Structure 1
Amino acid sequence: MSTPFSLELDVQYCPVLNFAMEQNDVPFIRSMSIANLGAEPVGPGLLRVTTSPESTLPLEIPLPCLAAGEMLELGTERVNPRILRDPLVRLEERERGELHLVVLGETGAEELHQVLPFDLLAYNEWMGVGQLREILGAFVMPNHPTVETLMPVIVERLRERTTQTALDGYQSQDRDYVREQAAAVYEALALQSLSYASPPPSFERTGQKIRTPDQIQATGVATCLDLAVLLAAMLEHVGLAPFLLLKEGHAWVAVWLSDQSFDEAVVPSAVALRTRCALGEVLAFEATGVACSPPLPFAEACARGLDHLRQVSSFQYALDVRMARRMGIRPMPARLRGDVSVLPSTPQAASPEPT
């Protein structure tokens, strides 16, 4: 490539990289175009894609000769490098990273070197509502060992409420019994003597670390999002279909009372959720009620959850976790003692078509 600085790269890429993206095969680089702005042909050559610190495998892409004024479009399948698991799963704090794009000519000489910034997130850090909204479902970990340890408590709370012990999801086809299962999940977590921690300012926009179930158990403190994600994991573990709900400065949780789902994972309308609640199809409840002293009764938590949905102007979105799973968003594996134990996601029972 004999004409220096006649090339222009335009790259569409995600400004953050985290463990959840690696686990769910989310593209880091979505597309790229290379334009020859010079008056002479350029090429052939080679495009080298690397990251610093190393968080993706190096990628080399052969480039054809580009005529004057010609543009080459490259899609995700050609330009997206493989994300490396180990650096991301061990990362405790956010770091700055650089994406390096180097174009080499026929002789191996560097014709263009473009450096783009991105952030490497801590292994349990969510990036906020501005990026990849469905990926929040990856932080819902229904088969985490800590969730499993809470099952006997849920069964006992269900027995106290109904005299029954079957955590059978929607098999009963009885909305009242599904509600009792959700209440048992809530009450089981309320018995864990948790304390509420305020989230970072504007967390829904800037993101935050989400405490994993074992971290919540070990420290005894949790934010609204931590608690909503844990309750969603517990609901999913017993065979129910939860939502995560976000508004400005707050997160809470909801659950389908019948075996159905929306046709999209992201639900942007509070009115749509409120309508389903009015029809008795969805039950929303306040997640932080489990961390009050004393804990809020489940009925009061439900009243507050519905009240949040009335605040339409501050509503961000709801994530239907079941639909996120159908889209391919898998739970992150548990990270125990600094290592990764890959745990299978909860099997999804057959269910009707989305409504």
Structure 2
Amino acid sequence: MDEAEIGQLEFRLSVKGAEDVTFTHRIEMLARDEWGGLAEMDNILAAFVSPNQPFVARILKDAARLLEAAGHSGSLDGYQSGDPLRVWMLAGAIWSAATGLGLTYAVPPASFERLGQKIRDPERIASEGLATCLDGTLLLAAAYEAAGLNTAVLFSHGHAWVGVWLFQKDFGRLVEPDVVTVRKALVAREFVALETTLLTKRPAIGFEEAVQAGRDHLSEAREAEFIQAVDINRARAARIRPLASHRIQEAVTTEDIAATPAALPRPLDLGLLPGELADETPSTALGRIERWQRKLLDLSLANRLLNFRETRGAVAMICPDISGTEDRLANGETFRLLALKDENAVSGRDLSADEARRIELDLARDALARGQIAVPLTSRDMTNRLTELYRKARSDMAEGGTNTLFLAVGFLRWKRSEGDSGSYRAPLPVLTKRGHYWAPKGGQSCVPIDRLPRSPSLSGCSSDPSPRSPLR
């Protein structure tokens, strides 16, 4: 059918010597190119990924030409090389070829991710030149699958985009609802996500920019928008095959490209952290021991003790006297937390940022003298965060026997290399044995915290200039 219709199922039970019983049930019959949405048909989305259609072959041929023009092999060899850098270039070439199709963005129906929509297959995209975010996502997923790569379709509220694995892996399940699992694969450089609406931009957008935009959708600040990922490779393992095309196939020319394709991406830098390197089977006993250590210790940027980010899983505190407070805690003294936002000390007043900070710092100093530590949150927000921290810490201890609750007195800013433009923050947790509380000071050896300058800012011990990073 070309359009959806309402039909009726009729069930009739006949028993000899008894009156027939009839039951009817109304049913919506969808058009053959209509997907019913995540609410009803999330597990068969892979049926709409069509890697064997001629238009997909055109994209792959254009990608091979781009690779050869740049001095790379034009083979569409998937994971055969065993090199994630080769997979990166192959995925980037397919993206570049797709940007040369001259597609125009089409607005999807409201709530399409939940209720579904009619999907343009690759041949219809070729003839119309139009694509919604889901159309472009499934087109790229088909091209990547045809090139031998594993893909996933990612959904957030009102949006869909595609992801491709740089290693021959998948999520291990057909539907992955946990955004943290997806983000860990991103941070480990095993998986990249692409913002597919950028296929319709002029001039053409490069692969790296599409990767950054796709990654932003999975950031901690936007994780509430994430719905789920549908793993196409796992769907194929579950025997969910592409829908058959009943059109008469026409020859698709590959001579003309409607737009100038984007340049190929730069070679991928897999980084310097051991946790981000491809795992190779060691040949020596020492190599095996080092690999065990890497597997036991998460040394990738997914580890928040190496790369801390502000989330609801942390409670910031303003503590004017770090070393004195640490001594009081070590002596067994307890503190109450003061919700600074509820004090309304600076609200409704025409104050500069420096004046507002000075007032809050005075309040924090006064609170500390009364056995309270100021928290720059409302009472409700603070209570919710503390409750979540308490529950998670208890759960982690009960399930894994590991304490995941830390009190940090600052942050160490660090870079992976001297020329790295970005920096990361590693929290400096307070250890449990009194007299052995250490913090880095510049490039020198460690010194006891109580010998560091007593300052409202922890810049002296954490290299973090933020005046609100003291006690966390």
TM-score, shorter chain, exceeding 0.5: yes
Offset at residue 149 of structure 1 (A): 2.4
1:276 to 2:185 alignment: yes
CA-to-aligned-CA distance 1:186-241 (integer Å, 9 cap, x gap) = 11111011100010001001100110000000000010000000000000001101
3-state DSSP of counterpart to 1:334: coil
1:232 to 2:108 alignment: no
Which letter does structure 2 place at the counterpart of 1:125?
Answer: E
1:222 to 2:131 alignment: yes
Equivalent position of 1:95 in the other structure: 5
Equivalent runs, 1:227-266 vs 2, <5 Å: 227-266=136-175
3-state DSSP of counterpart to 2:163: strand
Moved more, 222-231 or 294-303: 294-303
User: For 1:120, which of 29, 52, 58 is the aligned residue?
Assistant: 29
Work out whether residues 35 and 41 of structure 2, in 8 Å CA contact, stay in contact via their aligned partners in 1: no
- Rounded to whole Å, the distance in 2 between the matches of 1:222 and 1:132 is 21
- Rounded to whole Å, the distance in 1 between the matches of 2:247 and 2:105 is 24
Cα separation, partners in 2 of 1:250 and 1:161, compared to 1, 3 Å? farther
Equivalent position of 2:63 in the other structure: 154
3-state DSSP of counterpart to 1:132: helix
Equivalent position of 1:43 in the other structure: none
- Rounded to whole Å, the distance in 2 between the matches of 1:159 and 1:289 is 24
Which letter does structure 2 place at the counterpart of 1:174?
Answer: D
1:207 to 2:137 alignment: no
User: For 1:312, which of 197, 200, 223 is the aligned residue?
Assistant: 223
Work out whether residues 177 and 229 of structure 2, in 8 Å CA contact, stay in contact via their aligned partners in 1: yes
Work out whether residues 203 and 249 of structure 1, in 8 Å CA contact, stay in contact via their aligned partners in 2: yes
TM-score with structure 2 setting the length: 0.51
Equivalent position of 1:325 in the other structure: 236
Which letter does structure 2 place at the counterpart of 1:103?
Answer: L
Cα separation, partners in 2 of 1:207 and 1:232, compared to 1, 3 Å? same
3-state DSSP of counterpart to 1:317: strand
Work out whether residues 161 and 180 of structure 1, in 8 Å CA contact, stay in contact via their aligned partners in 2: no
- Rounded to whole Å, the distance in 1 between the matches of 2:18 and 2:210 is 65
Which letter does structure 1 place at the counterpart of 2:231?
Answer: D
Equivalent position of 1:87 in the other structure: none
Equivalent runs, 1:59-78 vs 2, <5 Å: none
Which letter does structure 2 place at the counterpart of 1:205?
Answer: R
Equivalent position of 1:22 in the other structure: none
CA-to-aligned-CA distance 1:126-149 (integer Å, 9 cap, x gap) = 000011322000100111122122
Work out whether residues 210 and 226 of structure 1, in 8 Å CA contact, stay in contact via their aligned partners in 2: yes
Offset at residue 312 of structure 1 (A): 1.4
Work out whether residues 77 and 147 of structure 2, in 8 Å CA contact, stay in contact via their aligned partners in 1: yes
Work out whether residues 165 and 192 of structure 2, in 8 Å CA contact, stay in contact via their aligned partners in 1: yes
1:134 to 2:16 alignment: no
TM-score with structure 1 setting the length: 0.67
Instruction: Give the fraction of aligned pairs with identical amino acids, expressed as a percent.
Output: 38
Work out whether residues 152 and 230 of structure 2, in 8 Å CA contact, stay in contact via their aligned partners in 1: yes
3-state DSSP of counterpart to 2:217: helix
User: For 1:106, which of 1, 11, 16 is the aligned residue?
Assistant: 16
Offset at residue 151 of structure 1 (A): 2.2
- Rounded to whole Å, the distance in 2 between the matches of 1:309 and 1:209 is 26
Structure with the greater alpha carbon radius of gyration: 2
3-state DSSP of counterpart to 2:40: coil
Equivalenced residue count is 248
Equivalent position of 2:84 in the other structure: 175
RMSD between aligned alpha carbons? 1.6
Offset at residue 159 of structure 1 (A): 2.3
Work out whether residues 241 and 256 of structure 1, in 8 Å CA contact, stay in contact via their aligned partners in 2: yes
Which letter does structure 1 place at the counterpart of 2:247?
Answer: L
Equivalent position of 2:332 in the other structure: none
- Rounded to whole Å, the distance in 2 between the matches of 1:130 and 1:152 is 36
Work out whether residues 102 and 113 of structure 1, in 8 Å CA contact, stay in contact via their aligned partners in 2: yes
Work out whether residues 242 and 256 of structure 1, in 8 Å CA contact, stay in contact via their aligned partners in 2: yes
Which letter does structure 2 place at the counterpart of 1:241?
Answer: N
Unmatched runs of 5 consecutive residues or more in structure 1: 1-90, 339-355
User: For 2:100, which of 188, 191, 211 is the aligned residue?
Assistant: 191
CA-to-aligned-CA distance 1:106-159 (integer Å, 9 cap, x gap) = 15742x221111111011110000113220001001111221222220101222
Higher helix share: 2
- Rounded to whole Å, the distance in 1 between the matches of 2:202 and 2:26 is 44
Equivalent position of 1:38 in the other structure: none
Cα separation, partners in 2 of 1:102 and 1:173, compared to 1, 3 Å? same
- Rounded to whole Å, the distance in 2 between the matches of 1:316 and 1:130 is 11
Which letter does structure 2 place at the counterpart of 1:106?
Answer: K
- Rounded to whole Å, the distance in 2 between the matches of 1:290 and 1:299 is 13
Equivalent position of 2:205 in the other structure: 296
3-state DSSP of counterpart to 2:78: coil
Kindly indicate whether structure 1 or structure 2 has the higher relative contact order, using CA contacts under 8 Å at least 6 residues apart: 1
Which letter does structure 1 place at the counterpart of 2:123?
Answer: D
- Rounded to whole Å, the distance in 1 between the matches of 2:191 and 2:129 is 29
3-state DSSP of counterpart to 2:39: coil
The list of structure 1 runs, each at least 4 consecutive aligned residues, that deviate by more than 6 angstroms after superposition, is none
Work out whether residues 134 and 266 of structure 1, in 8 Å CA contact, stay in contact via their aligned partners in 2: yes
